[in-house]
Amino acid sequence: MHKTLAGQGVRPATMPHTLSEVFPAHPTDASAVGFVLSRLPRTNAPILWVQDRLSRKEAGRPALVGIGVDRPVIIVDLSRAADVLWAMEDGLRCRALGAVIGEVWGDPPSLDFTATKRLALRAEAANVACWLIRRAASPDLSAARDRWRIASLLSAPHPHDAQAPGSPRWALDLFRSRRSKPGQWVATYDRAADRVHLAPSARDRAVEPRDGALRERAAG
């Protein structure tokens, strides 16, 4: 599942890779995994995916069925957050990797500003994308260049069956960034085009999940 984003206000894929953080609205929300996958470089380089014990226990292993058989995913199961951070930093020394992704539960003491600064510098030195999924966590001080909040929305209307779910949708909030303008969007995954379309989030009213106008903007 090599997905690309179509929309405004999000950094281009050509910018140097660095550390980004994702905070799911609900700790077990699978939207975080889907969003991170949509942001990965479109290559077949291996992915290093590291989880701590609580992330693995509460959220399960990442669902990677659609990523394609030609792209290896190295999954590492560790107990402590400190070990996850060490494995991520060590993985970023390998320029052959396409991305390094870590999942950490809560706010462990080892995940401080210094730890995120080391990850950001390693990712930028190697030009390898680095993502940290922060489940059940608070957005404390961090050196991550982009910081996202994400939540699943009801699916878009199905074009042929009103009773069936349509394309998956997420609510995205880039609440802090050192490279792009923060903003909020509704993201819709277009299966046929294998793309994630972005539409500005409505600020003056609640987002209506079955809003046809919003669906047109997302697909435009």
Token pair 């050509």: residue: 14
Task: Let me know: does 198 contact 5? Beta carbons within 8 Å.
Answer: yes
Task: Let me know: does 169 contact 187? Beta carbons within 8 Å.
Answer: yes
Q: The domain spanning residue 184 has which CATH number?
A: 3.40.50.300
* pLDDT value, residue 68: 64
Among 56-65, 80-89, 110-119, 145-154, whose mean pLDDT is lowest? 56-65
pLDDT tens figures, 122-161: 999 999 999 999 999 999 999 999 999 999 998 888 888 8
Which of 114, 179, 120, 105 has the alpha carbon at shortest distance from 141?
114
Total number of domains constituting the chain? 1
Per the structure, the complete domain to which residue 68 belongs is given by 4-219
* pLDDT value, residue 148: 97
Q: What residues form DSSP beta bridges with 152?
A: 170
Two tokens, residue 177: 């960034």
Task: Let me know: does 112 contact 119? Beta carbons within 8 Å.
Answer: no
* pLDDT value, residue 2: 40
pLDDT tens figures, 176-220: 999 889 999 998 887 777 788 888 886 534 444 444 333 333 333
Secondary structure (3-state) at 34:
helix
